[in-house]
Amino acid sequence: MCLKMEQLLIDAERIKSLEIQGATNIAINAIQFLSDFAKRLKSDNLEKCFENLYKAVDILIDTRPTEPAMKNGLKFIMSKLEKEKESCYAEFISDVIEKYKNQYYNMLQTAKKRIAIIGARRIPDVDKKIYVMTHCHSSLVTAILLEAKSQNKNFKVINTETQPRLQGRKTANKLVDAGIEVTHVVDSAMRWAVRHFEVNLIIIGADSITSEGTIINKIGSRLLALVAHEEHVPFYVASPLLKYNPETNLGILETIEMRDPKEVWEKPPEGIEVLNPAFETVSRRYIDGLITEAGIFASSHVPNYFEKWYPEMV
């Protein structure tokens, strides 16, 4: 195997092994890995370059089946490259990819900044301290909470540990470093925490959004949504429109990723089957609003907003 492909496989393994976490971070790293791969290509044969690039895209997409932000980014770059194919020389392909990589990166960052501002408005500016709850780690939810903190809003965060990889600790650390009060609870204490602290608002992130307005997020998200429904607590999902999967509009179902059982129990006794689903769905009926760069609206409206904001990706 050629060295340029070996390095790509090493990079891809960083995503697959969960060294790189968070849908937005995965997307940013994947498009960077594609750009780096293109720079290693030394062929003057244009068709061969495109063949290798599409192999690289397939390798990166296969690392995580439930990451539309990554898929949309890789497909965005390749569709742009295809349009310039006739006027492009093999030696300049890496420059073209770098240009569109930066363009997609800027889309993600612009969306994140807008979502932080819009989402922070959902946290009321009141004298009495309120409680905001979240699950797992979402850079977007963290950005919303940090923005609310910068506005001196009076709130405390309840967050879950998020078994089995404990991504909730990452959220807790980032918030505490910013001076936000955090109470950290085990996943199974979700309902108890909502009732005990009289949580005012719940905000989670998303890894994927379907054409029906269903969101896919870390396992435990639906349980928290059901608790919110039972306790009449507003439940919001923060996500850029770029996490919408256009393929679901054609009837393709999102895949629920099953991860290594050893994450849960490294050496279980013989005869015990250990299952480790990484994600689950949350129906639109339990989502009070989707917080996006285009505003807050019902999650079922995502296809229309996606087409309006990102027509080149439809």
185-215 tens-digit pLDDT: 999 999 999 999 999 999 999 999 999 999 9
Q: Per-residue pLDDT averaged across 110-133, rounded?
A: 97
User: For the domain 3-113, what is the CATH superfamily, name and number?
Assistant: translation initiation factor eif-2b, domain 1 (1.20.120.420)
pLDDT of residue 240: 97
Give CATH for domain 126-313.
Answer: 3.40.50.10470
pLDDT band at 232 (very low <50, low <70, confident <90, very high): very high
Q: What is the pLDDT of residue 102?
A: 96
Catalytic residues: 136, 207
Tell me the C-alpha to C-alpha distance, in Å, between residue 113 and each of 31, 107, 124.
20, 10, 19
Specify the pLDDT at position 90: 63
**2: pLDDT confidence band, cut at 50, 70 and 90?**
low
Q: Which of 101-105, 134-138, 250-254 has the lowest mean pLDDT?
A: 250-254
What average pLDDT score do residues 151-171 get? 97
Cα separations in angstroms, 52 against 17, 40, 45, 48, 67: 23, 11, 11, 6, 22
Residue 97 phi, psi (nearest 5): -65, -40
Which part of the chain is CATH 3.40.50.10470? 126-313
Q: What is the pTM of this model?
A: 0.92
Q: How confident is the model at residue 247 (pLDDT cuts 50, 70, 90)?
A: confident
Domain span(s) for CATH 1.20.120.420 in the chain: 3-113
Distance in angstroms (rounded) separating the CA atoms of residues 190 and 160: 7
Across the chain, the runs of DSSP E, i.e. the strands, are 130-134, 155-160, 182-185, 201-204, 208-209, 215-218, 235-238, 279-282, 289-292, 295-297
Query: Using N-to-C axis directions, what is the helix angle for 3-16 and 46-63, rounded to 10°?
Result: 20
pLDDT of residue 43: 67
Instruction: Please give the Cα distance from 38 to 218 (Å, whole number).
Output: 32
- Give pLDDT, residue 1: 47
pLDDT, mean of residues 69-77: 95
Q: 3-state class of 52 per DSSP?
A: helix
CA distance 261 to 243: 27
* Cα–Cα dist 289/233, whole Å: 12
Return mean pLDDT, the chain: 93
